[in-house]
Amino acid sequence: MSSKAVFYHAGCPVCIDAEKNLAYSLDPARFKLEIVHLGENKGRVPEAIASGVKSVPALLLGDEVYHINFGASIDDLK
């Protein structure tokens, strides 16, 4: 069974790079990857904050949030 992986980003260069090189490097046999652009989907910002996302790009694997480098603060996406 696949686990859910959510990659939150905001379209910034750091985000796009992490999406291409890291998020899409997850084992597709184990993860069902969802890409969420918080700039275009502001309605999902509260969900990201509730999951512990403090900056983007961030990868949510199960209940754990992994902030990858730094593109933008979640506060700037509200």
Q: Which residues bind a copy of itself (CB under 8 A)?
A: 5, 17-18, 21-22, 25-31, 59, 61-62, 64-69
Q: Which is nearer to a copy of itself, 45 or 59 (CB)?
A: 59
Is residue 38 within 8 A of residue 10, CB to CB? The reply is yes
CB of 43 to a copy of itself, least distance (A): 26
Is residue 55 within 8 A of residue 71, CB to CB? The reply is yes
Phi, psi of 73 (to 5 degrees): -75, 145
CB of 27 to a copy of itself, least distance (A): 4
